[in-house]
Structure 1
Amino acid sequence: MSDADSAAIREKRGDWVTEHRELYLNSGGTRGHIMDITPVGGFDFATHCLIKYKGRKSGKNYITPLCCGYYAGEVVICASKGGADTHPAWYLNIADSDEVEFQVATEAFRGTWREPEGAEREKIWNYMVDCFPFYANYQASTDRVIPLVLMKGVEAIPVFKMEDADAWRD
């Protein structure tokens, strides 16, 4: 899928993403971590996390909501960008860092991250497609391999707040 086509899809859901992020942040995580994503081809009880990262070029702090799964004690996110031919900015930014900050429901962590490879990656990818069927369509629409990111909390930190972000990126 071209980046322009992917951008058009993301533009259509932009208000939903903004509302979702605000709901998650303003509730301290009591709301927004489980959302109905049937309008975009998902299930009605889809799990979500927030990731907080620093822009590698801008130096600004961003918070982005993402669908997530759980595998062997790690939180899994997909760098799909709606099937675009380029990686999402959040992925490029955390790839420049040794650690990641993330929040699941009412718990936030500073932690490590990694990308699975080989058979482990295939197993986790299949699991994520079972949880979020639209990922199969996203992968089919691009030549790039959609990265999987596994995050593991190392240190509990305060939950994210709206004022923790200097700017917003979806």
Structure 2
Amino acid sequence: MDGRAGEDVHDSPNAWVARHIHSFLETGGQARPGMNDLLLTTRGRKSGTLRRTALVYGRDGDRFVLAASNGGAPNHPAWYLNLLDDPEVTVQVGTETFAARARTATAEEKPPLWLLMISIMPSYADYQRQISRDIPVVIVERV
């Protein structure tokens, strides 16, 4: 995927995620058959560069739902902090790429969306039990 207005996109510095992004692109979004994976590109809040990561998603109608679990780490993932600073993101699902806006689910919205994400990736519940921070649920909508 080309960045916004031809900008370079930098893949996750995490080697496993970078390999997964590469596999996602090679397979037209089918890197892990049976899993709903997407590529999310955010603007780095410190660097200003475009940053791409691969994430599991759920669907709530036309909306995409993400869990900012960071693998159960005590801190929020960089992609989440980036979209808090700039909610305008780019998403790739399969071979389709589109502009979107991301936001944290409200306290009222979160419970059913969290259950959706746990149904897709049960390890999210384990992650939440292991850490003190509340794992945010992110809603991504096409613009």
TM-score normalized with structure 2 length: 0.83
1:54 aligned partner, one-letter code: R
Q: Name which structure has the greater RCO, CA cutoff 8 Å, separation 6+.
A: 1
Q: Which residue of 1 is the match for residue 25 of structure 2?
A: 25
For residues 48 and 30 of structure 1, the distance between their equivalents in structure 2, rounded to whole angstroms, comes to 7
Q: Which residue of 2 is the match for residue 54 of structure 1?
A: 43
Label 1:48 to 1:96 Cα distance change in 2 as closer, same or farther (>3 A). Answer: same
Q: Which residue of 1 is the match for residue 132 of structure 2?
A: 143
How many Å apart are 1:16 and its aligned residue? 3.9
How many Å apart are 1:84 and its aligned residue? 1.0
Identity over aligned residues, as a percent?
38
Q: How does 1:1-170 map to 2 (within 5 A)?
A: 15-27=15-27, 29-32=28-31, 35=32, 45-154=34-143
Rg larger in structure: 1
* Structure 2 unaligned blocks of 5 or more: 1-13
How many Å apart are 1:121 and its aligned residue? 0.6
Q: Which residue of 1 is the match for residue 10 of structure 2?
A: none
TM-score normalized with structure 1 length: 0.71
* Mean Cα deviation higher: 91-100 or 131-140: 91-100
Label 1:110 to 1:104 Cα distance change in 2 as closer, same or farther (>3 A). Answer: same
For residues 124 and 67 of structure 2, the distance between their equivalents in structure 1, rounded to whole angstroms, comes to 8
Q: Which residue of 2 is the match for residue 6 of structure 1?
A: none
Name the Cα RMSD after superposition: 1.6
For residues 80 and 16 of structure 2, the distance between their equivalents in structure 1, rounded to whole angstroms, comes to 21
For residues 121 and 96 of structure 1, the distance between their equivalents in structure 2, rounded to whole angstroms, comes to 20
Any idea what SS the aligned residue of 1:118 has?
Answer: coil
* Structure 1 unaligned blocks of 5 or more: 1-13, 37-44, 155-170
